[in-house]
A and B are shown apart, each in its own frame.
Chain A
Amino acid sequence: MIDPMAVAADVLVAAVGIATPLALAATGETIAERSGVVNLGVEGAMLFGALGGAIGATAVGPVVGLGIGVLAGVLVAALFAAVAIGAGADQIITGTAVTLVSVGLTGTIYRQFYGPAGVGLSLPTLSPLPLPILSDTPLIGSALFAQPVTTYAAAALIPLTWYLLFRTRFGLALRAVGEDPPAARAAGVSVRMVRTWAVLLGGACAGLAGATLVLAQVGTFTERMTAGRGFIAIAIVVLGRWNPVGAGLAALLFGLATALQFALQAAGLKVPYQFFLMFPYLLTLLALAGAVGRVKAPAALGRNEY
């Protein structure tokens, strides 16, 4: 009765959809971490991106919502940069504080705008844009080529980021700052400036990721709706070995695990779906332990002295 091929194709569609915000946020965090900054405020930037997206879409439309979401993410990242880079505070503590502030503040702002009872607002969403011909490819056609515009944005952002990091002067300076800040400084690179730009770019990606959740998926804002995706993105950066292409693939793996466990539950199979949820984390741990290829973090990651 149910065509297994069609089910597999649908699972892939869901996997890519779930992976999109993760890939966006992880790509942004890869930029920040390559410059030597661990930004645990990603979760907060995503939440603000989601709220900004909702407000922008209510006021004007979904495309403006995406723009406001990006802007909101940049602002949260700027707060982090001011404290962690400008004032030289501990990155981990600053990032945690930024996320905590964001959780509280987005909830408060949301209730101010839309009332405490929170009747779910219904926003216009970005519908899938099927690319002609390509989207008819069997199995993977609709997963890769019939997605909302934000998925294409993520797909474009990954090679662009790779190019930025590994093929431009700015990328070279950025990686130098992440590996050996004193040497970079001796070569005339402003460590603070480069790190600030890296964090702001990361914030823009996180904001877009949050707006994607609202405008390409749920169609509404709910408090804490990012539900830890910012932290998963940080794990994805590790699993992706501080490379945007790796981050994209790792995000897909997380997306696939989630999509698969829902498909199994919906099929009524009595399998422990928790195992599938655990799987990508297990892989991340293994990656950290050096079992899945050799992993080397930027040498100056998390360190402020330079």
Chain B
Amino acid sequence: MIAARALGWVLAGVLLASCATREAPAPFRVALITPGSIADAAWNSGAFTGLGQIHDSLGVPISHVEARTPAEQEEALRTYAAQGYDLIFGHGFEFQSPAERVSADYPAVVFIITSGERVQGNVAPLIFRLSEASYLAGMVAGGLTKSNVIGFVGGVELPPVREASEAWVAGARAVNPEVQSRTTYLNNWDDAALGREAARALIRVGADMLHHNADAAAIGVFQAAKEAPGVYLFGANADQTELAPSRVVGSAVIDLPRALLLVAREVQSGTFTPRVESFGLGSGVVQYVPNLALDSMIPVALAERVRAAEDSIRQRDGQ
């Protein structure tokens, strides 16, 4: 905790130092704050890729920091705002209240909270209904499970994580009412060794289909599945097929780069008004991406049911 705090001060110092070299008039600039490492092959790496695309497509200066604790997160938001960044992405639900506090002092800055909660002044959420894709993953899992036990590994018990877990179970039960589900939380987004132990504990009680929402810690879940014969899993936030190509049946994906670029473009052109922007399957930002190499595992009837469910969710989205 002390370590993380001190690191935050170092980061803040670097940011302040870079502030000194700012030239006027300031161009449109975009900042991203992630709650964890951008090398997680999922939630944070997707946002970082999006930031890169904003730089490439809009030709604007960008900046990124990682901030893990609430104190660091508020500090990072405030530092970027003080430096005159025009658009600041707080990448996760946990940024909602710090952003609300900071934004009161910086009314000209747009704060976008991915997986946020509500609009408050110039703070606006981007909501990803990942649960729609997790529901489809659950349907596939419910159809494929041999033990009728499915497992979910969550990082920290945040509302979006709980929603994804509940949708996964609901999807499985829609196909197979016999399914029992088990959910384990790590209280952590980084500890891959704990992720593996949590997954192994789920496998021990018979779970043969796993899903997760645990960022970098989930890499341990993939390892546990690879070690256990007959256990398959579903990726989250990004297409994670390549983490275990013979075991990942599909992934509930958020096309974060696309969503971030959409918003940045709007803010840059000045047409942005704070609102709840919500993306589901219908938008294409949220998708269920199957691993085509394992397509033969899935019975035709099951595939059709999943496709039908996807269509009906899309239609509901469209209304």
Chain A positions within 8 Å of B, measured between CB atoms, are 2, 7, 10, 14, 17-18, 21, 43, 96, 99-100, 103-104, 107, 110-111, 114, 116-120, 122, 125, 213, 217-220, 222-225, 227, 258-259, 262-263, 265-268, 274, 277
* Least CB distance, B47 to chain A, in whole angstroms: 11
Mask of B236-258 contacts with A, CB within 8 angstroms, 1/0: 00000011000000000000000
The answer for the CA separation of A262 and B222 in the assembled complex, in Å, is: 17
Given A100-B7, A225-B192, A265-B185, CB of A120 within 8 Å of CB of B201: no
B201 near A117 with CB under 8 A, answer no
* Least CB distance, B306 to chain A, in whole angstroms: 26
A267 near B39 with CB under 8 A, answer no
Partner of A218, one of B184, B205, B207, B220: B220
Chain B positions within 8 Å of A, measured between CB atoms, are 2-3, 6-7, 10, 37-41, 45, 48-49, 151, 180, 182-185, 187-188, 190-198, 200-202, 204-207, 216-217, 219-220, 222-223, 226, 242-243
What are 20 residue pairs bridging A and B, where the CB atoms are less than 8 Å apart in the complex? A17-B197, A96-B2, A96-B3, A103-B3, A110-B39, A111-B39, A116-B48, A120-B41, A120-B222, A120-B243, A219-B223, A220-B223, A222-B217, A222-B219, A225-B192, A225-B216, A227-B188, A259-B197, A265-B182, A266-B202
* Least CB distance, A52 to chain B, in whole angstroms: 17
The answer for the CA separation of A193 and B121 in the assembled complex, in Å, is: 62
A266 near B197 with CB under 8 A, answer no
Known A117-B39, A220-B219; 15 more pairs at CB < 8 Å = A96-B2, A100-B3, A100-B6, A103-B7, A117-B49, A118-B37, A119-B243, A217-B220, A225-B192, A227-B191, A259-B201, A265-B182, A265-B183, A265-B201, A274-B187
B190 near A222 with CB under 8 A, answer yes
* Least CB distance, B152 to chain A, in whole angstroms: 10
Partner of B39, one of A116, A274, A277: A116
Partner of B194, one of A10, A107, A258, A266: A258
Main secondary structure of the interface of A (DSSP, over half): helix
B201 near A107 with CB under 8 A, answer no
* Least CB distance, A97 to chain B, in whole angstroms: 9
The answer for the CA separation of A122 and B226 in the assembled complex, in Å, is: 11
A2 near B182 with CB under 8 A, answer no
The answer for the CA separation of A273 and B7 in the assembled complex, in Å, is: 30
The answer for the CA separation of A98 and B183 in the assembled complex, in Å, is: 37
Chain B residues near A224: list those with CB within 8 A.
37, 190
Smallest Cβ-Cβ distance to B205: which chain A residue: A266
The answer for the CA separation of A224 and B216 in the assembled complex, in Å, is: 10
A266 near B182 with CB under 8 A, answer yes
Chain B residues near A263: list those with CB within 8 A.
201, 204
Main secondary structure of the interface of B (DSSP, over half): helix
Chain A residues near B219: list those with CB within 8 A.
120, 218, 220, 222
Chain A residues near B6: list those with CB within 8 A.
96, 100
* Least CB distance, B318 to chain A, in whole angstroms: 33
* Least CB distance, A111 to chain B, in whole angstroms: 6
Chain A residues near B48: list those with CB within 8 A.
116-117
The answer for the CA separation of A277 and B182 in the assembled complex, in Å, is: 19
B191 near A223 with CB under 8 A, answer no
Given A18-B197, A103-B7, CB of A266 within 8 Å of CB of B184: yes
The answer for the CA separation of A227 and B223 in the assembled complex, in Å, is: 18
Partner of A262, one of B180, B192, B198: B198
A262 near B197 with CB under 8 A, answer yes
A265 near B184 with CB under 8 A, answer yes
B7 near A119 with CB under 8 A, answer no
B3 near A107 with CB under 8 A, answer no
A225 near B201 with CB under 8 A, answer no
Smallest Cβ-Cβ distance to A265: which chain B residue: B184
Most chain A CB atoms below 10 A, which of B39, B182, B219, B226:
B39
B41 near A7 with CB under 8 A, answer no
Smallest Cβ-Cβ distance to A219: which chain B residue: B223
B3 near A99 with CB under 8 A, answer yes
The answer for the CA separation of A42 and B18 in the assembled complex, in Å, is: 32
* Ranked 9 nearest A-B pairs via Cβ: A118-B39, A227-B191, A262-B201, A266-B201, A223-B37, A265-B184, A218-B192, A222-B216, A224-B190
* Least CB distance, B42 to chain A, in whole angstroms: 10
The answer for the CA separation of A2 and B206 in the assembled complex, in Å, is: 9
The answer for the CA separation of A119 and B180 in the assembled complex, in Å, is: 32
